[in-house]
């Protein structure tokens, strides 16, 4: 029972109160870059969920079974980047073969997941919070879901911006940044959910 | 020492393991691509300038293979590449002459300044402030938005504050034309050197007061042209390059120096003399002819 409540706490934290984008400010590059259309934003979001979940699992194994016994903890960042980079390569090949439409829609942003700090962030945070394997995987997946939620919300806001009457000089990224900032403010409201901890 | 060795060994092994896995995966998930696509991609300019309208060079190559884009879609790659791509596609390319971008303004310091602009150094931003810091609504603002847009280092602000194109480097991708808020940049055949240096559509005094080098739509060039190649349309001289033969007569009569290559005052004087003499000779010939035709007429009587 206690384990279940920990998992729920992790889930709520990763999606709402400690959202990777809105309160930890990780992964902002694809967040701004791929949030022009809901379709591609959803695709990117699911790709990140997938990568973050898998990366959490693999980096947890690498850390606890290889780095820890060999006293190589100080190499964790390098090892994690190695894992993430190969994982993204793998996903790229997989998508190109099985979902080519998503592959072309994501375009240059798919390889960019490699440098998405949310992915490296989740791997490092798993270690920092000394999660066990299941907790780490849940944190990875729900962190990705948080990213998915954030990017889809911003994409829907940005699609509606066509009808908004804002100064022309705000066109493009400036108004998107304003929208993202307001959403981050709104997400601050969820910080009250931390009492579950 | 052992620490270093084990670190190198472990990370090396990890890397090798992932590398092997990726190699296997690349075989499993191999996608059969049209080999022509890669061959064409190798022939394209590779600058990802977007001038063709497709997302990057790979997108353009895919469109060419699919038949959505012509084999000449990549202007920066030039005629040779177009011919090579045509060969890959099994077609013959109909390649026109190489074209380059050209800035239709010679105002700059010669244009009348309305106010001193000190904001963001960008043409579009300057244009937004009370419709630009110069009186001429068609003049080059000289803040270099096109210079920043050029991927090929072919665009620079000249000594008189007007953007000029380096024709050797220009690939006619027209990225500059897309960012120019005054739409001054046009594409012209590289061999045709006679070009109108102004886009001001006002006529006479209205055009004259805003700039020293403006076209006032007087039509002298139109009357001077022997090939019917230059015409004043909407208050601005424009050249039909299918007819222009680079004779430069129009440049010599232009009172506003609005046609490049700008003729020197000396050249203009000389041309005036030549014209005067020609006119006199013509007059004399006409008199002689009249005298000759007069006699037989008189004899008849």
Model pLDDT for residues A74-98, shown as the tens digit of each residue: 888 888 998 888 888 888 888 888 8
> What does the pLDDT read at residue B105?
92
CB within 8 Å of chain B, chain A residues 57-76: 62, 66-67, 70-72, 75
Least confident segment among A172-181, B26-35, B214-223:
B26-35
Q: Do A66 and B7 make contact, defined as CB atoms within 8 angstroms?
A: no
**B237/A105: higher pLDDT:** B237
Return d(Cα A106, Cα A92) in angstroms, integer.
10
Q: Do B26 and A67 make contact, defined as CB atoms within 8 angstroms?
A: no
Q: Categorize the per-residue pLDDT at B94 as very low, low, confident or very high, splitting at 50, 70 and 90.
A: low
Q: Do B21 and A90 make contact, defined as CB atoms within 8 angstroms?
A: yes
> What does the pLDDT read at residue A75?
85
CA dihedral B62→B63→B69→B70, nearest 10 degrees, is 20
> What does the pLDDT read at residue A196?
54
**A106/A117: higher pLDDT:** A117
Q: Categorize the per-residue pLDDT at A124 as very low, low, confident or very high, splitting at 50, 70 and 90.
A: very high
Express each pLDDT in B192-222 by its tens digit.
889 999 999 888 888 889 998 899 999 999 9
Is pLDDT above 90 for B45?
Answer: no
**B194/A114: higher pLDDT:** B194
SS3 B141: coil
Is pLDDT above 90 for B173?
Answer: no
Question: What does the mean pLDDT of chain B come to?
Answer: 86
Is pLDDT above 70 for A106?
Answer: no
> What does the pLDDT read at residue A29?
82
Instruction: Give A90's contacts (C-beta < 8 A, 6+ positions apart).
Output: B21, B22, B25
Is pLDDT above 70 for B296?
Answer: no
HEC sequence for A88-132: HHHHHHHHHHHCHHHHHHHCCHHHHHHHCHHHHHHHHHHHHCCCC
> What does the pLDDT read at residue A153?
93
Express each pLDDT in B69-83 by its tens digit.
888 888 888 778 888
**Which residue, B265, B221, B224, B229, is CA-closest to B245?**
B229
Return d(Cα B123, Cα A7) in angstroms, integer.
55
Task: Give the number of other Cβ atoms within 10 Å of residue B258's Cβ.
Answer: 30
> What does the pLDDT read at residue A107?
65
> In this structure, what token pair is assigned to residue B160?
């008189």
Model's pTM, two decimal places?
0.52
Q: Categorize the per-residue pLDDT at B300 as very low, low, confident or very high, splitting at 50, 70 and 90.
A: very low
Residue B259 belongs to what H/E stretch? strand B259-260
B29 touches chain A (CB under 8 A): yes
A186 touches chain B (CB under 8 A): no
> What's the whole-number mean pLDDT along residues B229-251?
90
> What does the pLDDT read at residue B95?
60
Q: Categorize the per-residue pLDDT at B162 as very low, low, confident or very high, splitting at 50, 70 and 90.
A: very high
Is pLDDT above 60 for A3?
Answer: yes
Q: Categorize the per-residue pLDDT at A137 as very low, low, confident or very high, splitting at 50, 70 and 90.
A: very high
Closest chain A residue by Cα to residue B129 = A169
> What does the pLDDT read at residue A182?
93
Least confident segment among A136-140, A162-166, B137-141:
A162-166
Return d(Cα B66, Cα B232) in angstroms, integer.
43
> What's the whole-number mean pLDDT along residues B276-298?
81
> What does the pLDDT read at residue B301?
45
Is pLDDT above 80 for B53?
Answer: no
What percent of chain B is predicted at pLDDT more than 90?
Answer: 24
A69 contact residues in B (CB cutoff 8 A):
none
> What does the pLDDT read at residue B299?
47
> What's the whole-number mean pLDDT along residues B234-246?
90
CB within 8 Å of chain A, chain B residues 90-149: 125, 128
Strands (E), B72-120: 99-103
HEC sequence for B168-203: CCCCCCCHHHHHCCCCCEEEEECCCCCEECCCCCCC
Q: Mutate which of B2, B4, B7 to test chain A, going by most A C-beta atoms within 10 A?
A: B7
């Amino acid at each position: 029972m206690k384990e279940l409540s920990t998992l729920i706490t992790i889930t709520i934290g990763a999606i709402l109160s400690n959202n990777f984008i809105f309160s930890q400010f990780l992964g902002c590059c694809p967040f701004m870059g791929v949030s022009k259309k809901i379709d591609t934003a959803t695709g990117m979001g699911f790709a990140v969920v997938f990568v973050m979940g898998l990366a959490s699992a693999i980096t947890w194994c690498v850390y606890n079974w290889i780095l820890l016994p060999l006293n190589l903890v100080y190499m964790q960042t390098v090892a994690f980047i190695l894992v993430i980079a190969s994982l993204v390569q793998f996903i790229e090949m997989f998508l190109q073969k099985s979902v080519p439409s998503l592959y072309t829609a994501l375009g240059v942003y798919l390889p960019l997941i490699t440098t998405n700090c949310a992915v490296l962030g989740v791997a490092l945070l798993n270690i920092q919070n000394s999660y066990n394997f299941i907790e780490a995987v849940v944190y990875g997946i729900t962190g990705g879901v948080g990213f998915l939620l954030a990017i889809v919300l911003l994409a829907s806001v940005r699609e509606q911006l066509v009808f908004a009457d804002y100064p022309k000089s705000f066109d493009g990224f400036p108004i998107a940044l304003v929208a993202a900032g307001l959403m981050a403010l709104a997400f601050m409201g969820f910080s009250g959910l931390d009492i579950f901890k | 020492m052992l620490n270093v060795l084990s670190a190198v060994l472990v990370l090396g092994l990890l890397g090798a393991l992932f590398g092997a896995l990726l190699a296997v995966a690349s075989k499993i998930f191999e996608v059969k691509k049209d080999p022509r696509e890669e061959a064409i991609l190798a022939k394209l300019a590779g600058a990802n300038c977007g001038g063709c309208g497709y997302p990057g060079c790979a997108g353009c190559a895919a469109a060419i293979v699919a038949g959505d884009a012509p084999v000449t879609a990549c202007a920066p790659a030039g005629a040779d590449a177009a011919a090579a791509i045509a060969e890959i596609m099994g077609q013959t390319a109909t390649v026109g002459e190489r074209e380059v971008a050209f800035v239709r303004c010679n105002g700059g310091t010669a244009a009348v300044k309305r106010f001193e602009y000190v904001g963001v150094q960008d043409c579009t931003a300057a244009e937004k402030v009370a419709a630009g810091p110069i009186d001429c609504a068609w003049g080059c603002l000289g803040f270099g938005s096109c210079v920043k847009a050029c991927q090929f280092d072919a665009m620079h602000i000249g000594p008189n504050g007007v953007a000029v194109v380096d024709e050797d480097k220009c690939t006619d991708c027209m990225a500059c034309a897309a960012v120019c808020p005054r739409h001054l940049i046009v594409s012209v055949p590289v061999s045709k050197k006679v070009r109108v240096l102004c886009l001001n559509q006002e006529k006479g005094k209205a055009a004259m007061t805003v700039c020293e080098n403006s076209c006032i739509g007087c039509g002298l060039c139109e009357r001077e042209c022997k090939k019917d190649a230059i015409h004043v349309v909407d208050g601005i001289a424009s050249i039909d390059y299918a007819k222009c033969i680079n004779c430069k007569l129009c440049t010599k009569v232009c009172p506003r120096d609005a046609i490049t290559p700008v003729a020197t005052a000396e050249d203009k004087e000389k041309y005036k003399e030549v014209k005067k003499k020609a006119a006199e000779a013509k007059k004399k010939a006409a008199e002689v002819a009249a005298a000759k035709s007069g006699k037989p007429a008189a004899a008849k009587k």
